[in-house]
Amino acid sequence: MFATYSALLALAFAHISAVGGTQVSSFAGATSTFLFPPAGKTITVSDPLFPDANQVGFAGPTPTGDEAAAIVTAPAVAQVDTFFPLINPGTSGKPSTAFDVVHHFGNLAPWRSVKSLGLPDASALVPSGCQLDQVHLLHRHGARYPTTGAPPSAFATLLHALASTTGVNVTGPLTFLSTWEYKLGAENLTPFGRSQLFDLGVGFRVKYGDLLKGFSDLPVFRTTSEGRMVDSALHFSAGFFGVQTYQQDYHQLIEIEALGFNSTLAPYDVCPNANNNISTFGTAQGLKWAAVYLAAAQTRLAPYSTGLPLSPSVLVAMQQLCAYETVALGYSMFCDLFTEDEWIDLVFWYSFGPGNPAVSAQGIGYVQELVSRLTSTRITTANTTVNETIVSSNVTFPFGQPIYVDATHDVVISAIVTAMNFTSLAANGPLPTDHIPPNHSYIVNNIAPFASNLVGQVLSCPATSASASSTHIRWILNDAVIPLTGIRGCKANSNGLCPLTTFIDGMKQRIQEVDFMFDCFANYTIPNPDNITTGQFPK
């Protein structure tokens, strides 16, 4: 539902500078922090009083058994449909039994198995008669605290400042604000977020572990240098390999994530139009829509607040607090303030999805790397976000791995599926800013929630010997098979299969179609947004 609204509370903060008077109350809204281990306490590595398991010995029998291959052998795919240990907070009014507010947090929702993205009879299980040869996993980091300066912390600052100057009085459903404190950190994974990636690693080993038998060298998995990214990659690998040996079982490649450094897993750092008014177009559209979908909430809650302006931007910040507190602290009182009709947003479509002209350009570098891996052909022209140093070496960018794992962000997954032209995700076109369309297909909590995962299965159909060339590919997003009919030459298929050579040709076409230099660097204004549905500037 939500992306980071830059300057979302600008109008509210303008109010702070205009107020005066002496401090009238000590109010909630202050920031609380906690660090562990306790100050001055550290662990000495190889402490003789606390030897590790290798030094103690006496491990007992440790046979590991054969590798799992549930995606090939099981009769069904295990579904992710819970979010233990989070508490579902419910909603205001009389919610329907089918409504689950935690899974209406958009990109701030925990991932769960999606029932269908256009192929209701397809399964993530390898189709009968096919042989699994290779998998490509692209996953998002786990649940995190808000990004620095995001609306939740801005709301806490606003509340505290107003209470300390003009005064704030809250009653009824807002009474909890009189004792509420802001307890969220910034950027890093929450405890729940760590568990998501560990579980994702365990699940991936159960589904695809048998492919490890095809490695002749240690795997190379990739992530970026941000704290939550490295943390996510390590937790995934601990779940996939096991906590005792995972750091010896593979190589973790960490690409620098900072302005000016090329990385297909953080492409916005070398795309100027991903960091200006082109990228924030969704914020403007989102505020238009917020004034509509939160109008009833504004009217309903206004009688219970004196001194705290409940503008649409403030209410959006409160909705974000519901999401962030739930995935960080396990529960949030903010969720109960809103009805089930007040949980939908469109920022992602216009800032990070098919409705923004600089999005496909950000995702096309990964497409180049994918083609390089599928064809064992080096990338020789550095004309997008690809890091030439990394992809030029078989050490850092090996060919022929049975399993590839790349960790990235929500906006990057959204950019990549847009660049690959998975048109079923945008089948119903742009999202309006004044009403909810009856059958909208672009649903962010299906595409890029916390721990979202996109899997490409490379297959031999019909099944052949291990030495035979692969024949088909298909893509699975959060357990739902994606139709590939938006890719030139890929025909409708009930299992989402496309001939591998056809798919590769289609990706090469997309690489030619996407004008990276223009869409990322040109000085333009966004034309009629109704004409943008492929993440490219309309030609």
Its pTM surpasses 0.75: yes
Output the pLDDT for position 18: 39
Output the pLDDT for position 432: 84
β-pairing, 472-477 vs 453-460, is antiparallel
Domain spans of the chain, in order of start: 1-539
Check if the beta carbon of residue 344 is closer than 8 Å to that of residue 324: no
Output the pLDDT for position 25: 40
Output the pLDDT for position 62: 85
Output the pLDDT for position 13: 42
| Three-class secondary structure of residue 345 per DSSP | coil
What type of residue sits at position 335? C
Element (H, E) at 407: strand 403-408
Output the pLDDT for position 97: 59
Check if the beta carbon of residue 150 is closer than 8 Å to that of residue 156: no
Output the pLDDT for position 92: 65
Facing residues of 220 across strands?
251
| pLDDT by position in tens, the chain (length 539) | 444 444 445 444 444 433 333 333 445 666 667 888 888 888 887 888 888 888 899 989 989 899 999 999 999 999 999 899 999 877 665 555 567 889 889 999 999 999 999 999 999 999 999 999 999 999 999 999 999 889 999 999 999 999 988 999 999 999 999 999 999 999 999 999 999 999 999 999 999 999 999 999 999 999 999 999 999 999 999 999 999 888 899 999 999 999 999 999 999 999 999 999 999 999 999 999 999 999 999 999 999 999 999 999 999 999 999 999 999 999 999 999 999 889 888 899 999 999 999 999 999 999 999 999 999 999 999 899 999 999 999 999 999 999 999 999 999 999 999 999 999 999 888 888 888 877 778 999 999 999 999 999 999 999 876 667 899 999 999 999 999 999 999 999 999 999 999 999 999 999 999 999 999 999 999 989 899 999 999 98
User: CA–CA separation, 143 vs 496, rounded Å?
Assistant: 30
DSSP letter string over 114-164? -S-SS-TT--SSPPTT-EEEEEEEEEE---BPPPTT-HHHHHHHHHHHHHT
139-184 residue pLDDT tens? 999 999 999 889 999 999 999 999 988 999 999 999 999 999 999 9
Q: Residue 479, by phi and psi: left (phi above 0), alpha (psi -120 to 50) or beta?
A: left
Check if the beta carbon of residue 139 is closer than 8 Å to that of residue 280: no
Rg for the chain, CA atoms, rounded:
24
In 3D space, the residue among 46, 63, 64 whose CA is nearest the CA of residue 55 turns out to be 46
1-51 residue pLDDT tens? 444 444 445 444 444 433 333 333 445 666 667 888 888 888 887 888 888
Domain 1-539 sits in CATH 3.30.450.30: no
Tally the C-alpha atoms within 13 A of residue 277's C-alpha that lie toward its C-beta. Answer: 5
Tokens representing residue 476 in the block: 């699975």
Torsion of CA 262, 513, 134, 372, to 10 degrees: -50
Element (H, E) at 453: strand 453-460
Output the pLDDT for position 32: 66
